[in-house]
Amino acid sequence: MKKLSRNQTRLHRKRRIRAKISGTADVPRLAVFRSLRNITIQVINDASGKTVASANLAEIKATNTIEGAMALGKLIAEKCKDAKIETIVFDRAGYQYHGKIKAVADGAREAGLKF
């Protein structure tokens, strides 16, 4: 049997998570994508297939660290407040809820978003 790569096992986890959660107009989904150089987050209304708000590290000129991820979470919370969104569903996309992914969530919570 062939061994799956790290990214393939993450994508399996992602599919399993996405089968259970989806965003609506009232409670959109906060999707996180992490690469080696950047973190991108989107607030998505899955019912209409539209992205309500998005942010990445280049937008705030932050580095790819835990502090940068925390600042990114605060930025997306501010954008959600402008769009009159208070509650979201967090989609970690198969990543471990640890480090930068947790920092994004903590920053968003700190700025007033409810999960």
Let me know if residue 13 belongs to a domain.
Answer: no
Please state the pTM of the whole predicted model: 0.88
Let me know if residue 4 belongs to a domain.
Answer: no
Task: Tell me what pLDDT residue 2 has.
Answer: 86
Length of the chain as a residue count: 115
Let me know if residue 6 belongs to a domain.
Answer: no
Let me know if residue 82 belongs to a domain.
Answer: yes
Residue 1 has pLDDT above 90, yes or no: no
Question: Other C-beta atoms within 10 Å of 7: how many?
Answer: 10
Indicate which CATH number applies to the domain containing 101: 3.30.420.100
Question: Other C-beta atoms within 10 Å of 27: how many?
Answer: 16
Let me know if residue 92 belongs to a domain.
Answer: yes
Let me know if residue 93 belongs to a domain.
Answer: yes
**16, 21, 25, 51, 97 from 8: Cα distances, Å:** 13, 20, 31, 25, 18
| Structural domain harbouring 99 | 24-110
Let me know if residue 84 belongs to a domain.
Answer: yes
Let me know if residue 17 belongs to a domain.
Answer: no
| Token representation of residue 92 | 């970690």
Over residues 8-66, the pLDDT tens digits come to 999 999 999 999 998 888 999 999 999 999 999 999 999 999 999 999 999 999 999 99
Contact 33/93 with Cβ under 8 angstroms?
yes
Q: How many domains does the chain have?
A: 1
